[in-house]
Amino acid sequence: MNLFYRPFYKSDITQFLEQLKAARPEMAQGQLDGRALLWNKSVDRSAQSDFRAARVPQQPYVYQSHDQ
């Protein structure tokens, strides 16, 4: 038997989130909509390859000016 096994224990945060989701079931759809705004994007492969080709390599010491 596992010494730390607690099948009926729920933390305060878990209880809060379960109550919040029960009180506001529309919140799950709002989360998905917000995630779609930032992350679920289609990638333009040609633009991505152009960005990679135009990349300038970083200098070994970025704070050194080129005048020295």
Which pTM value belongs to this model? 0.46
For residue 51, report the phi and psi dihedrals to the nearest 5 degrees: -65, -40
**Rounded CA gap, 39 and 68, in Å?**
43
Structure tokens at 50: 């152009």
Q: Give the model confidence (pLDDT) of 8-44 as tens digits.
A: 889 999 999 999 999 999 999 999 999 888 887 888 9
